[in-house]
Amino acid sequence: MDTCHSFRDLMLMMVSRIEEVALSIDQSQVECFLTAINQAERIFVLGAGRSGFVAKSFGMRLMHLGMNAYVVGETVTPAFHEKDILIAFSGSGKTKSVLEACETTRQIGGSLCLITGTKESPMTALASCVVYLQTDDESIRTGSDHFELRQLRGEHRSLSHPSTPLGTLFETSAMIFADSIISALIEMKKCSIDEIIHRYSNMQ
């Protein structure tokens, strides 16, 4: 029973921390993000590691809404053009593979939106739209900028808070943020549930 009680407390601590992140989000940044998505011809999403899973989930949901969404790195992803938008998920704003894609986006002339846990980073300087999720800044700044090397060395970037270990706070907050954006887009586009379900995969 003690273990169950402790586990429940840990979940509630995580919920509390995510609530703090939600309350800290700048509404003007969200409005900028929504405007950029609605103005883009096509939407490309990207992230490394678990942030990559968040990006893929977001891309899937955008597809369910009937938007032209692609995951960077997939074999069926087309070329990026200047009227397209890249949405990058990066807690640190420094991960090398994601940063290189952000730089390519700007060279082509496309738009870049960044979902990040760090106010100042190379990606932030490149982005036309930034949504800052107020997670653990100090722990994010430590370690290598190469995602794969950080994983091999055990240099996880959000290890300072015991209730949200190993980057969990940023990734979970980013996932909830992304799903909330989908809910906002459903209302804005007046999408019906039947219309969305019709786009669900039937080949799994």
Q: Which domains does the chain have, with CATH numbers?
A: 2-197 (3.40.50.10490)
Name the nearest CA neighbour of 51 among 88, 85, 100.
88
Residue labelled with tokens 């980013």: 174
Structural Rg of the chain based on CA atoms: 17
pLDDT the model gives residue 72: 96
For residue 152, pLDDT beyond 60: no
- Separation CA 124–CA 91 (nearest Å): 11
pLDDT the model gives residue 193: 81
Percentage of the chain with pLDDT > 70? 81
- Beta-carbon contacts of residue 116 (< 8 Å; ≥ 6 apart): 89, 90, 91, 92, 93, 123, 124, 130, 131, 132, 133
Average pLDDT over residues 116-138: 88
Please give the mean pLDDT across all residues of the chain: 84
Q: Taking the model in full, what pTM does it have?
A: 0.82
pLDDT the model gives residue 27: 96
